[in-house]
Amino acid sequence: MLTTHQYSNQKRQSIEEVLRRIEEISTLPTVALRVMEVVNDESSGASDLKDAMECDAALSARVLRCVNSSAYATRTEVTNLQQAIAYLGLKQIRNLAMTASVSELFKKDGEIGCYRRLQLWRHLVSVGICARLIAMQRQVANFEDAFLAGLLHDIGIVLEDQHVHKPFCKVIGSLDTAKALAAAERAQLGFDHTQLGEKVAELWRFPNAVRAAMRYHHMSGQCKGEEITIVRCVEVANLICTLKGITSVGMKLVAMSTSVIESLSLTREDVVVLADNLDSELAANATLFEL
């Protein structure tokens, strides 16, 4: 019979083992992590970002394709990274590069009961777009960080799928609408996707707002510090997308949180309007969903 202390240590060892596996396999391309590092560094500029991206021709081509899509309505075709960065700025180009890089985790589709990797990918991109929409409406200065936080908030789920696949199958098999995903994960794995996500965010040196959103997107009330507004935007975006049927694991497991909606000075009518407006935003950003 394990004592509480021994069980706690067992959980920590388990999550650390998963982290070591993720680090060994280099789950995200080096160029993506370099792009993140450059944009996080206040002393870096457009030329540094261009240099970081140019070593990956496929990534650069995909970013340019996105820049020239209907979402950005460029008057003339953008033909190189220098133009793209000048037109959209460092953070939007970072977001496009990260979207392209994270999509590599979903190239191979998988299906376990109600869960599909491709459906999770659609959820991640949709929450990113919706979180940015909310942040812009609330006039949050760093609204592009809301997109990145939304894009990455549930990345712990696909990492569980890939790196602890058999126990993850048991997680999905145990789901029902009366139980939160995190509770099912902790029962089978000893940790949940928000805890794993936070650890991965630290490993990959993600911005603080992204780390906070990955950990607290189901419980923004527990988040302390200046990142809380971004976390709230992600939590509400997650709720809206889930209610629209764009779910992470194929079931609507996110409960309505009146307090987090009110914390952003949103009414229920505002949420309905945001949900309606999201459809056109998703359509305009269709290139982001491509794998």
Taking residues 55-80, report their average pLDDT: 91
Provide mean pLDDT across the span 141-166: 95
pLDDT band, very low/low/confident/very high, at 257 (cuts 50, 70, 90): confident
| Predicted TM-score (pTM) of this structure | 0.91
Is residue 21 within 8 Å of residue 163, measured between CB atoms?
A: yes
Q: How confident is the model at residue 11 (pLDDT cuts 50, 70, 90)?
A: very low
Q: What is the pLDDT of residues 237-253, one digit of tens each?
A: 999 999 999 999 999 98
Q: Cα(90)–Cα(95) distance, rounded to whole angstroms?
A: 9
What's the full length of the chain, in residues?
291
Specify the pLDDT at position 254. 83
Q: State the average pLDDT over residues 63-72.
A: 90
Percentage of the chain beyond pLDDT 70 is 95
Measure the CA–CA gap between 109 and 11, rounded to whole angstroms: 29
Please tell me the predicted confidence (pLDDT) of residue 30.
87
Per-residue model confidence (pLDDT) at position 197:
96
Q: Mean per-residue pLDDT for 102-108?
A: 91
CB atoms closer than 10 angstroms to residue 105: 19
Q: What is the pLDDT of residue 13?
A: 52
**Residue range 172-190: mean pLDDT, rounded:** 92
**Does the 4-289 domain belong in CATH 3.40.710.10?**
no
Q: Using 50, 70 and 90 to split pLDDT, how confident is the model at 14?
A: confident
Q: Where are the domains of the chain?
A: 4-289
- Tell me which amino acid residue 110 is: G
Q: Say if CB 218 and CB 133 are below 8 A apart.
A: no
In the predicted model, is pLDDT for residue 150 greater than 80? yes
Weakest mean pLDDT among 78-82, 114-118, 174-178 = 174-178
Phi, psi angle pair for 112, to nearest 5°:
-135, 105
Residue 188 near residue 160 (C-beta atoms within 8 A):
no
Task: With cut-offs at 50, 70 and 90, classify the pLDDT of residue 6.
Answer: very low
Distance (Å, rounded) from C-alpha 85 to C-alpha 66?
12
Q: What is the pLDDT of residues 266-283, one digit of tens each?
A: 998 999 999 999 999 999
